Amino acid sequence: MELLLGQVLQFNNTPFEGRPEDAALHIRRGAVAIKDGTILDVGEADTLRAAHPDAPVTDMGDALLSPGFVDTHVHYPQTAIIASWGKRLIDWLNSYTFPEEGRFGDAGHATEVAETYFDLVTASGTTTTVSYCTIHPESVDAYFGAAQKRGLRVLGGKTCMDRNAPDNLRDTAKSAYDDSKALLERWHGQDRLSYVITPRFAPTSTPEQLEALGALWAEHPELLMQTHISEQHEEIAWVADLFPEAEDYLDVYEKFGLVKPGALLGHAIHLTERERDRIREVDASLIHCPTSNMFIGSGLFDMNGLMTQGHRIGLATDTGGGSSFSMLRTMAAAYEVGQLSGFAIHPAQLWWLATAGSANAIHLGDKIGRLAPGYEADIIAIDLDSTPAIAQRAARAEDIWQAVFPTIMMGDDRAISAVWANGRKLR
């Protein structure tokens, strides 16, 4: 057993209902008791120290103890091409993504990138990721193997594409089904790992492949499914040309059994009213990727409108279309997108989106994303004075949210003082 001491931020409700600041409890001198990878208790430091006088203590001073960040949409194979100059989505895929992903049939290369990726994201305070791998099973093995070594709870799957991609990045409807089934049988439920069925997006899958993946999901309804939707107008028009019988983009996926609870729909910027209503009706999840949406010029996600409608929403870096590995930078970008849309997202709402909200979006809200008894001990310590610029602003803070907001807007990996995954300290 161990006691971690510091400021504690504990969400008890969603800050998108009622006053945002009322959804969280801030304990100025708090403690988290952990044992065997699980949080036993959270409370005042003096109370927990008295209750556990023999427990080893790690005192993080004024650092903020928080759940580790949950990144709900990434492409770890794009680690090396992050921040590459590009034009629009299709140009970016052809110029950078596909050439790089073609290298991941080499297990050595895949392992090297996976190791680098997890070093970078854990240094930024992220303890759970949901990744698209490549069509190569080697890329999935590398991703899960690197995460397993660190004790991380991660999700991911083989990206499936059987058209509109280079020859060396195409599989078939049958191999997509067979490879995905073999990989899920190898990895799903091992330690803290979960397999996700992963058609890249409608333009790169034939109807036959989408049908095969829908059938696989029907056989394994305990899994999640991830794909992209309505990221750019050109993409939406392309989908309409490829699937003229479909009512809209969402209808393509729905026809093949890929729209139901557990569907993670990335971007979702330009949804029609019918699509919004249907996604909410079936309780699929929308994944907001603000740095990517701005970097590739896709558009503004309607956070306020979609939250008001009651959607399940996660936050994501979308590495490497997204321009940062950091969920702090992602929160800052979400705030900026909100401002452009006329909705000032409160710091409590941003922090919740990066932790409990994202955990809920990937149906792990009962395991991660909160500091509460029974939850897995994925915990980070945040230095709220990590740079001189941040420190001088935080010194004027009148409450915890004024203290946290400068770190959201200006923080980076220097703000991450320590990281625990499943109760084990990683850094």
For residue 345, what pLDDT band results from cuts at 50, 70 and 90? very high
E strands along 69-124, which residues?
69-74
Question: pLDDT of 257-281, one tens digit each?
Answer: 999 999 999 999 999 999 999 999 9
Q: Which has the closest alpha carbon to 26: 38, 42, 46, 39? A: 42
41 CB contacts (<8 Å, ≥6 apart)?
A: 32, 33, 48, 51, 373
Task: Tell me how crowded residue 257 is: count the other CB atoms within 10 A of its CB.
Answer: 16
Q: What CATH superfamily is the domain 2-68+370-425? A: Urease, subunit C, domain 1 (2.30.40.10)
- Out of 3.20.20.140, 3.30.420.40, 3.40.50.720, 3.30.70.270, the CATH code matching 69-361 is 3.20.20.140
* pLDDT(89) > 80: no
* pLDDT(87) > 80: no
Q: Could you give the dihedral angle defined by the CA atoms of residues 31, 32, 34 and 37, in that order, rounded to the nearest 10 degrees?
A: -150
For residue 61, what pLDDT band results from cuts at 50, 70 and 90? very high
* pLDDT(93) > 90: no
- Share the mean pLDDT of the chain: 96
* C-alpha to C-alpha distances, 75 to 27, 81, 123, 158, 197, nearest whole angstrom: 36, 11, 18, 11, 14
Mean pLDDT over 30-43 rounds to 98
Tokens of 339: 């401002």
Strands 38-44 and 57-67: unpaired
Mean pLDDT over 317-331 rounds to 94
Radius of gyration of the chain (CA): 21
For residue 83, what pLDDT band results from cuts at 50, 70 and 90? confident
Strands 416-421 and 69-74: unpaired
177 CB contacts (<8 Å, ≥6 apart)?
A: 212, 213, 215, 216
Mean pLDDT over 361-378 rounds to 98
**Packing angle of the helix pair 173-187, 207-219 (nearest 10 deg):** 30
For residue 174, what pLDDT band results from cuts at 50, 70 and 90? very high
List, in sequence order, every residue forming a beta bridge with 265; answer none if it has no partner. Answer: 227, 286
Give the span between the Cα atoms of 424 and 427, in whole angstroms.
9
20 CB contacts (<8 Å, ≥6 apart)?
A: 346, 347, 348, 349
In contact, 286 and 250? CB cutoff 8 Å:
no
Question: pLDDT of 110-168, one tens digit each?
Answer: 999 999 999 999 999 999 999 999 999 999 999 999 999 999 999 999 999 999 999 99
378 CB contacts (<8 Å, ≥6 apart)?
A: 67, 68, 127, 128, 153, 368, 420, 421, 422
Backbone angles phi and psi of 380, in degrees to 5: -125, 150
In contact, 318 and 289? CB cutoff 8 Å:
yes
DSSP state of 391: H
* pLDDT(368) > 90: yes
* C-alpha to C-alpha distances, 309 to 275, 276, 315, 376, nearest whole angstrom: 12, 9, 17, 30
Q: Could you give the dihedral angle defined by the CA atoms of residues 98, 101, 103 and 108, in that order, rounded to the nearest 10 degrees?
A: 170
* pLDDT(91) > 80: no
In contact, 168 and 193? CB cutoff 8 Å:
no
Helix, strand and coil content of the chain, in percent to the nearest 5, comes to 45, 25, 30
DSSP state of 94: I
List, in sequence order, every residue forming a beta bridge with 42; answer none if it has no partner. Answer: 32
Give the span between the Cα atoms of 112 and 209, in whole angstroms.
30
Domain chopping of the chain, boundaries: 2-68+370-425, 69-361
Q: How many CA atoms lie within 13 A of 204 on its CB side?
A: 23
Report the pLDDT value the prediction gives residue 217, as an integer from 0 to 100.
Answer: 98
Q: Which has the closest alpha carbon to 170: 200, 207, 139? A: 200
DSSP state of 171: -
pTM for this prediction: 0.97
